[in-house]
Structure 1
Amino acid sequence: MLSVLFLEDVALVADAASSIGPALAGRLRSWTATANAAGATVFQGAEAIDQVADDWQALENAGGSATPFQSLAMARAAAEIHLKAGEIPRVAVVRHGGRPVVILPTVIGTRFGVKVARFLGDPLIQYGDALCEPGTAKRHIEAAFHAAADPSAIDALHLRKVRGDARIAPVLRQHAIAFNGDEAPFLDIAGPQAHEEPRQVRRARRKLSALGPLRLTVTQGAAARDHLREALTLKRRWLEARRLPSSVVGCEHWESAIDRLADHDGDMQLNLAVLHVSDRPAAYEVAFTAGDRWYAFIGAVADEFARHSPGRVQVADTIAWCRDNGFARYDLLAPADDVKRSYCRDAAPVSDYSHAVRPAGHALTAALRLTPVAKAVLVRLPAPLRRLALSVAGR
């Protein structure tokens, strides 16, 4: 099982710092495929995002992106990191009536000699989906899927973190294999609210208040950058101390992509909610917002306050702030756990999907389906055994 444990992580962050040599530069050169019979046009290479940017933005402005993780800004930031790693952006665009109705952005990487397409932005993005004009017919989404699954370009698809209500979900349920099922807890803020805070939140608030007055600040964009860097540093140290793997936190290239998103000024925004005890930051939440939805991306706590569970108070106060500032939904993302469920009554199913399109892809997709099981076993091990297991796996 250890042999597949880090199959995914190794492939996602492998040598992102390497320079692009002449041979690789040739592979990354952009090209455009002719529209097929179903109406899909494929753009591939270093300039693929720029080639579809106008269509992408138009579709995003028309409500085509289900979450901020499908925004053009997120794609631009991610594509830069993919290219540094030698991965190739590949974007399928389907038109109907002369306008774009579906955009399916993927990226091609090589795992053990097998060409695999993932959602562009993976592992940064926390929900994977296609951009679709509202009301788009299923056949148009299928056309984009089949263009992405072209056996002349890849051996397999590995599409992660797909919500049950994602635009592409019905097509994946029909054509691919679902695995690694989980849930993403969320709270509809506009709905009826509990009259009293959970007991754990009240207890944490009482203990923290004894150390000084509590205050929540929420900043957006460039103004959030200092706290963003503090939060990432704390999260990185927490993961390292427990020897827990992460494909994003601890990878300087993906962290730089998050930092870059702080500069974006549009509907999709990076936010930092920080709980202060007196003037000292105690808990951080890095979040992305789009429209009236808040997506809690990364949480971190300061060591000096950790024993008092400041994260519980920060989440409760952030939910209250969202309610006061016109947000309709607070999304805690997958994976679900007891702490997240203590705030939320509802949860959306989330799954990964694999689809082999050539013989070489079958063995890899089988191994990929084992990876979540192996990771779950690792997380449950005591820290000393985790270190031993990671050492055996070469980490």
Structure 2
Amino acid sequence: MERMDQTEPVCGALNVSVLTDRAAMEAIADDWRALEQRCEGGLSFFQGYMWCHSWAARFAGGAGGPRPFVATAWCAGRLIALWPLMQSGVAGALSRIEALGGTHTQYSNLLMDPDFAGLSETIADKLLAALVDRGDFDVALFEGVPDGSALATMMARANSVATVRNAASLLDLTGFASAEAYVAGLGKLQRRNRNRRRNHLARHGELRFSVVWPDDPAFAPTIQHALHLKRRWLTETGRLGLGLSQTGFGDFLAGLEGDRDSLSGACLSVLETGDRIAAVELGFLHGGHYYCYMGAFDWDLRDASPGKVQMEMTVCWLIDNGIATYDLLANPAGYKESWSNRTIGLSTYTIAPSWRGRFYARGWVATARPALKRGLEALAYRVRRLAALTQGLGCIVLLA
């Protein structure tokens, strides 16, 4: 065993086990939560117990559905690493292993106890061995793996090459002493545009901003309303939202935990104008990091940019509450660039032990799917342009 620094705990036998059902996950709930507290930061919210157990309770375990595959490493009775995965596929079909939560999970990662950093390579090798030896699969797919993360390091040890590159946009809030300082630091044009949007939206009624937590009776119905707004936006803009359309997704989100005292877990940023919700954003707080998970706005108020007004108010609330990062998540976009000041690279990795898995990894994940996504995005853009043209022609006909 490698010599460790004297400040690091000494580990005797390193034991690895794989949890394959919710009961086993529940049995280590306290250990899991304690580990994630030691691993705060590092884009690891989606590997926390609350997210993983809530998702498994809603979507896993059914006939033909995904099944938990949670690899854990223990030292002297202490949980020191956890890799929450799931397995899907039936006999005769492609069997996959991926991050627990699938498309709903935004970052693939694992929890690695920083107190045992000197054993990180040994732990990684043990977890990889557990995956290969106990996971009967054609392909293991890890999407949205942050550069420099514990999982990225593990994939390098597994000789897995990144097949798809992406990036997450983040706004570092640590440089702003207050919300007023943040606003004052904006360019003159930015401040003028933001004031104009607020004034325009206020014509529909007095603006009110609030943060709603899961213990508020309004939390669950507001989640459902936000999904309704988001789905209308998808329809109006010709976009697809497979994760949003999954049965039970609204109930899953409404059942997430959050705590206003510790500023952790799920919360809703709600902007109202008069007696209607103009925009709402579901976010997650963990270790001073805020994940902007889902934003939605009233389509009928789109000319007043209610989503942008809500985002500014949310950022100001985060600054005043000492949050370090506003994370706009993956998939760069023009509006994200205007709200962020740094990016984190993301990669997709695959491990494919079978020919079917290699065909899926190389043919679909690395080639066909990105091309299809680009085609759908181009089609959605043409649909939006056509809709705008149709509206314009309609106005001409009405005026004629």
Partner of 1:389: none
Partner of 1:144: 127
Asked whether the equivalents of residues 65 and 131 of structure 1 are also in contact (C-alpha less than 8 Å), the reply is no
Asked whether the equivalents of residues 205 and 313 of structure 1 are also in contact (C-alpha less than 8 Å), the reply is yes
* Cα 1:304–1:56 shift into 2, 3 Å: same
Partner of 1:258: 253
Give the drift of 1:383.
Answer: 6.4
Question: Within the alignment, does 1:177 sit opposite 2:180 as a pair?
Answer: no
Alignment of 1:89-100 (within 5 A): 89-100=68-79
Asked whether the equivalents of residues 52 and 101 of structure 2 are also in contact (C-alpha less than 8 Å), the reply is yes
Asked whether the equivalents of residues 214 and 254 of structure 2 are also in contact (C-alpha less than 8 Å), the reply is no
* Cα 1:65–1:42 shift into 2, 3 Å: farther
- Partners of 2:156 and 2:281 lie apart in 1 by 33
- Partners of 1:268 and 1:49 lie apart in 2 by 21
- Partners of 1:51 and 1:301 lie apart in 2 by 40
- Partners of 1:277 and 1:151 lie apart in 2 by 54
Partner of 2:309: 313
Partner of 1:68: 45
SS at match of 1:178: coil
TM-score, normalised relative to structure 1: 0.81
Partner of 1:126: 106
Asked whether the equivalents of residues 124 and 254 of structure 1 are also in contact (C-alpha less than 8 Å), the reply is no
Q: Percent identity?
A: 27
Partner of 1:55: 31
Asked whether the equivalents of residues 48 and 90 of structure 1 are also in contact (C-alpha less than 8 Å), the reply is no
Asked whether the equivalents of residues 214 and 276 of structure 1 are also in contact (C-alpha less than 8 Å), the reply is yes
Partner of 1:219: 212
* Cα 1:190–1:56 shift into 2, 3 Å: same
Aligned with 2:273 (options 258, 272, 277)? 277
* Cα 1:263–1:203 shift into 2, 3 Å: closer
Give the drift of 1:273.
Answer: 0.5
SS at match of 2:114: coil
Partner of 2:143: 160
Amino acid at match of 1:285: E
- Partners of 1:63 and 1:359 lie apart in 2 by 37
Structure 1: gaps spanning 5 or more residues? 1-36, 387-395
The CA deviation string for residues 224-263 of structure 1, in whole angstroms up to 9 with x for no partner, is: 2222111011112222344422232121223321121157
Asked whether the equivalents of residues 106 and 117 of structure 1 are also in contact (C-alpha less than 8 Å), the reply is yes
- Partners of 2:80 and 2:139 lie apart in 1 by 25
Partner of 1:374: 372
CA RMSD of aligned residues (A): 2.5
SS at match of 2:278: strand
Question: Within the alignment, does 1:106 sit opposite 2:82 as a pair?
Answer: no
Bigger Rg, which one: 2
* Cα 1:383–1:319 shift into 2, 3 Å: closer
Give the drift of 1:87.
Answer: 1.4
Aligned with 2:61 (options 71, 80, 83)? 83
SS at match of 1:47: helix
- Partners of 1:351 and 1:64 lie apart in 2 by 21
Amino acid at match of 2:197: A
TM-score, normalised relative to structure 2: 0.80
